Amino acid sequence: MSPESPPLGRSTLPPKFLIGLGQLVWSGLWHLMMSKLAPRSTSGGYVRPTSQFHHRIGTREYPSAKGRYQLLVGMGCPWAHRTLLIRVLKGLEAAVPIVIVQPSPTEGGWVFDQPKEGCHALSQLYALAQPGYGGRATVPVLWDSETKSIVNNESAEIIVLLNDQFNELAKYPERDYYPISLRPEIDCWNEKIYHTVNNGVYRCGFAQTQSAYDVAVTELFSTLDELDGVLATNRYLCGNWVTLADIRLFTTLFRFDVVYHGLFKCNLRRIRDYLHLGAYLRDLYQLPGVASTCDLTQIKRDYYGNLFPLNPGGIIPSGPDLAELLEPHGREKLS
């Protein structure tokens, strides 16, 4: 018998009734915590709350201006990551500065490293912008420092504003990631990818019933399989040009093998297991400026360290190595 073996005749597990009691208590607490973290439908599926601020740049109230607007982002958040990508691809770093917030599990939301407008938490800034606000305080936020107001907090709309409304301030105004001729195709991809992939991974990870999970994971991998087929002949989703559809997909793909595959139970396949989708991820990652927006350490800390109901121990995995994203992708031959 090895030194590590338990004494003969003694169980390595607690008594049966303690196991049952622990399961009952933990199940109840898990459902309670999940109800706060992830609103659910009657079938146990995750229901993402909608954004509340939908103003536009280029109006009399919010004219385009250098330095007036700030992007409030969390580096681990895929929705905020979209805005960082379009900001760097358009060359808007000098025109639209960023303010980084951190998730705080003890405060139940995002907090500032340094107080902003006298606010310690993002929820306080929301209340400053709209007294009596009772919704969620999410990122990204396009903040107007002149009127102390939230212009927009819907990532899908913010990336369009950054693409369209700041060209006179952009380093690369000629880069159009939402061209009029491709908008119907881009919008079609965005609709499918949002439901089954971008939000689909959350529908898997935050599902509170087996049936809800089964539906979500089936739809997720059905779309990933379809995307892999399309990318066999297209360099990007809509042809030879990077569009907002690619930008919106990238932030989920970048986190997939790191987080969603294990923590969110999206484990039928990894992105690296897909011949074309894996190379496509490398292609996008190697575009100038993109890697600078990808903070893998913060992503793992945010997901594994803060989503207590999914990872009670808070243990953060050491891998994977991002060096493989720098390997040749060979997709230039498709252009």
Q: Check 202, 213, 236, 285 and give the catalytic one.
A: 202
- What are the angstrom distances between the C-alpha of 88 and each of 66, 139, 172, 242, 284? 15, 18, 10, 14, 13
Q: Decide: 87 and 93 in contact? Cβ < 8 Å.
A: yes
Question: Catalytic site residue 77?
Answer: yes
Long-range contacts of 274-280 (CB under 8 A, 24+ apart): 274/224, 274/228, 275/228, 275/232, 276/228, 276/229, 276/231, 276/232, 277/224, 277/227, 277/228, 277/231, 277/253, 279/231, 279/329, 279/330, 279/331, 280/231, 280/235, 280/236, 280/253, 280/329, 280/331
Q: Decide: 129 and 26 in contact? Cβ < 8 Å.
A: no
235: tokens are: 């360099």
Question: Catalytic site residue 126?
Answer: no
221 φ, ψ (degrees, to nearest 5): -80, -20
Closest CA to 69 of 53, 46, 48: 53
Q: Check 77, 238, 266, 294 and give the catalytic one.
A: 77
334 φ, ψ (degrees, to nearest 5): -80, -15
Q: Decide: 206 and 309 in contact? Cβ < 8 Å.
A: no
325: tokens are: 């994203």
Q: Decide: 86 and 76 in contact? Cβ < 8 Å.
A: no
- Give buried/exposed letters for 125-134 (b at 16+ CB in 10 A, else e): bbebbeeebe
Helix axes 155-164, 78-90, angle to 10 degrees: 0
Q: Decide: 171 and 91 in contact? Cβ < 8 Å.
A: yes
Indicate which residues carry an active-site annotation.
77, 202
